A = this chain, B = another copy of it.
Amino acid sequence: MPNNLNNIERASTIIEALPYIQKFRGKVVVIKYGGNAMISPELSDAVMEDIIMLYLMGIKVVLVHGGGPEINDMLKKIGKKSVFKNGLRYTDEETMYVVQSVLCGKVNKDLVSTIVRKGAKAMGLCGMDNALLSAKALDRGDGEDYGLVGELVEVNTDVLIDAMENNYIPVVASVAHGIDGNNAYNINADTAAAKIASALKAEKLILLTDTQGVLKDPSDPSSLIKRIYVYQIKRYIDEGVVTGGMIPKLTCCAEAINGGVTRTHILDGRVPHSIIVEMLTDEGAGTMIL
């Protein structure tokens, strides 16, 4: 912390945020929260403070989250072994029971509690509240049954809009309401965030990750690519610049852009206040996909 600053310097720094606040005021920003930013209490606190700061400046934040390691801990505790099919974890009913409980009941409500303790209004929701997220069983066309892994078929943002109009920060767990039975479905949180951002025609979608962003050379932090246009993504994948888990993240961003979101960002959740850095300073952070 810059505690060597005098008050005038502090005030100047705050004032420099003015044009950014004016730009984003009244706009919707969807933040997908996960990774280290979720595990470390310090980082988690910093993210919640960033969100409350945006909220106080009149920016409408929707926080979407997955489950982090808490689901695995609980699955381990009940002695559940995971079965993988084509690289995807098969979700049986017992697993889904744990996923839904931990995600919607523990992780989600703890985030809400943190925000409330820090002085803002928040409400914990999941895809089942007013059928915010509707899904059916995933069908990859490979004839394989992935159990309760779902694919989103509809987003009904009414409950989010009602929440934001009443000045709540909606916190959304990525579990969906099943339309082909009484089931709930497990949904990828990046995808949920991207679909929600599209449905809300958000100004920004921010994916918090455990990387700096997209690096040309993974071993060289200075090789960060600051800006990727949607049409470049395929080439970066083909060239092997974008690999592994970054591929679906970029795909989510591309879909959000195509769905009407203005800017999407892959930010480093390991850096405290990276959201504020990206949104309220002139340097930006991570990789912007547009």
A interface vs B, CB < 8 Å? 1-2, 5, 7-19, 21-22, 25, 46, 49-50, 52-53, 56-58, 74, 77-79, 97, 100-106, 108-110, 112-114, 116-126, 128-131, 159, 162, 166, 168, 173, 175, 177, 182, 184, 271-274, 276-277, 280-281, 283, 285
Bound CA span A129–B273, Å: 24
Contact residues in B for A285 (Cβ distance below 8 Å) = 7
Contact residues in B for A97 (Cβ distance below 8 Å) = 106
Bound CA span A128–B111, Å: 10
CB distance from A273 to the nearest CB of B (A): 4
The answer on a CB contact under 8 Å between A123 and B125 is: yes
Contact residues in B for A16 (Cβ distance below 8 Å) = 1, 10
Could you jot down 14 A-B contacts, CB within 8 Å?
Answer: A10-B280, A10-B281, A12-B273, A21-B56, A22-B119, A97-B106, A105-B173, A110-B128, A113-B177, A116-B128, A116-B131, A122-B129, A124-B128, A162-B168
**Nearest B-chain residue to A285, judged by Cβ:** B7
Bound CA span A14–B46, Å: 12
The answer on a CB contact under 8 Å between A272 and B184 is: no
Contact residues in B for A272 (Cβ distance below 8 Å) = 8, 11-12
Answer whether A56 and B57 are a contact pair too, CB < 8 Å, given A109-B128, A123-B125, A277-B10: yes
Contact residues in B for A17 (Cβ distance below 8 Å) = 14, 53
Partner of A113, one of B7, B9, B124, B128: B128
Partner of A101, one of B56, B106, B120: B106
The answer on a CB contact under 8 Å between A113 and B182 is: yes
**Nearest B-chain residue to A118, judged by Cβ:** B18
Contact residues in B for A100 (Cβ distance below 8 Å) = 105-106, 109
Contact residues in B for A11 (Cβ distance below 8 Å) = 50, 272-274, 276-277, 280-281
Contact residues in B for A46 (Cβ distance below 8 Å) = 15
The answer on a CB contact under 8 Å between A182 and B105 is: no
Contact residues in B for A22 (Cβ distance below 8 Å) = 52, 56, 119-120
Contact residues in B for A52 (Cβ distance below 8 Å) = 18, 22
Answer whether A7 and B101 are a contact pair too, CB < 8 Å, given A1-B12, A52-B18: no
**Nearest B-chain residue to A273, judged by Cβ:** B11
Indicate the member of A52, A116, A168 with the most B CB atoms within 10 Å.
Answer: A116
CB distance from A271 to the nearest CB of B (A): 6
Bound CA span A50–B182, Å: 20
Bound CA span A11–B116, Å: 22
Bound CA span A12–B14, Å: 10
